[in-house]
Amino acid sequence: MVVVLVVLVAMMLGGLSVLRGVDTSSILSGNLAFKRDSINQTGSGIATALRIMQTADFRAKGDTDTGCPANCGDAAVWKKMNYSPRLLESDANGIPVVLKSSGTFDSVFTADKPAAAPGNTVRVLIERMCNGYGLVTETKCALAANFERGGSQPQDKPGAAALPLYRVTVRTDGPRNTQTYAQAIVTVKSD
């Protein structure tokens, strides 16, 4: 009788450990699904940034003000487009520090958030890849004409325009504290 009781207790403990293992794997699967969904939501952020960059306000105000930071007449317009005409302070991974805190970001940049799936919040920041304010120049900005299209050998690009590059950073916050950052380097064709 004692042996039977010991075997029953061992079987009960084994059953509990199997149940706990199944529960843990379902939690991990759920977390991975939320993470994947938040990665998918970054696409709407990049699409929103591209739409902003095609607007007349962006084209008219994006690269014009030379009086910054002392006299930024266009600063309010920039904030409404989630735009900075120079690179902002970034962490070691290249993520703008202002975007790491949702409260700080929302208080500075006021553009509407992109549409996202329920439970997700998407924030977008567009930065011109320049180390200062003012007009675009080769000495202070990264220009599209200066970069190869792939490979390691320089290529001649006849007729290439010296358009500024922009870094688009998207932050997606989702259920169960999922947080995803994505970046894209883009340029817009001037009229």
The per-residue pLDDT for range 71-99, each reduced to its tens digit, is: 565 677 788 888 888 899 999 998 999 99
Q: Is the pTM of this model over 0.85?
A: no
CA distance 184 to 134: 23
Residue 30's pLDDT is what?
52
Residue 151's pLDDT is what?
47
Residue 154's pLDDT is what?
46
The per-residue pLDDT for range 101-160, each reduced to its tens digit, is: 888 888 888 888 887 777 788 899 999 898 887 777 788 888 876 555 554 444 555 555
DSSP characters over 100-165: HSHHHHHHH--SPPPP--TT-EEEEEEEESBSSSSS--TTTB-BGGGS-SSSSS----TT---PBP
CA distance 87 to 164: 12
